[in-house]
Amino acid sequence: MWFKRKELPESNDLVLCTVKKILPHGVFVNLDEYENLEGLINISEIAPGRIRNIREYVAIDKKIVCKVLRTNKINRHVDLSLRRVSFNTKNRKLQDYKQEEKAEKLLEFAGKQIKAKLEDMYKEAGLKIIEEFGSLQNGFENIATSKEDLLKKLNIKEKILEVLTKTIKEKIKPPEIRIRLILELKCYEPNGMELIKKALSKVYDFYNKKGINLSILYISAPKYKLEIITTEKKNSNKIAENIAEEIIKEGKKLNILGKWQEES
């Protein structure tokens, strides 16, 4: 991407990184979304448990998603963790980054229609959108779905405002988000499998009628995969967790022991 953030990330932020150097006790990476910023992943933050060979988890030039543990503003040093990023969290970050790349291309496309360079489009509109909404993609999604003329509030030049608004309205659609959880369901009744199916079917039918794009797949006893597909970015995790809790609650009525966890 052309745009790079100049400020440092905050603790607990998720960042996309490129592996640049692998040492016996840690890994140095470049933070892809930031300007000339390097980070370190200590060997203890690569993966849970004892690590015999770091290269089993990372490779030079590999893209990875890390969690920021701490930053040092004086020397611009960032400590990172790879092991504290779950499967779902990693996927959401990668999806967000890909969407931001698409948003930048859309900004560039709009600029070409009025013979403006990408750098100028950022200066006149992109940076204002990022400051207001946190990212280009978030801004474009809000602009595409809002009945208000949100760009006018940002004091963007009329020529750019018109072409950008038109392009956004034509091209932007809310992205689909996939959330997966693993259910563990046990029943010691003689007809245990039938009872589990009954509990799953009841909850599935209820949420399916509400318009939730939901699937529940058998993996191997006692595990099942629950997946939802939604465009609700803010509430996607909560929706999946509520469904899992509802299955466990329904299962208790039928002597089913249940728990859930994020897919690893």
In angstroms, rounded to a whole number, what is the distance separating the alpha carbons of residues 6 and 24?
30
**pTM of the full structure:** 0.65
Q: Quick one: pLDDT at residue 142?
A: 86
- Is 37 a residue whose pLDDT tops 80? yes
- Say if strands 77-81 and 38-42 run parallel, antiparallel, or are unpaired: parallel
Which domains are delineated in the chain?
Answer: 14-85 (2.40.50.140), 88-171 (1.10.150.190), 177-262 (3.30.70.1130)
Given a contact cutoff of 8 angstroms between Cβ atoms, the answer to whether 258 and 247 are in contact is: yes
Q: Quick one: pLDDT at residue 263?
A: 84
Structure confidence by residue, pLDDT tens digits, 65-118: 999 999 998 899 999 999 999 988 999 899 999 999 999 999 999 999 999 999
| Listed residue (220, 226, 217) closest to 246, CA to CA | 226
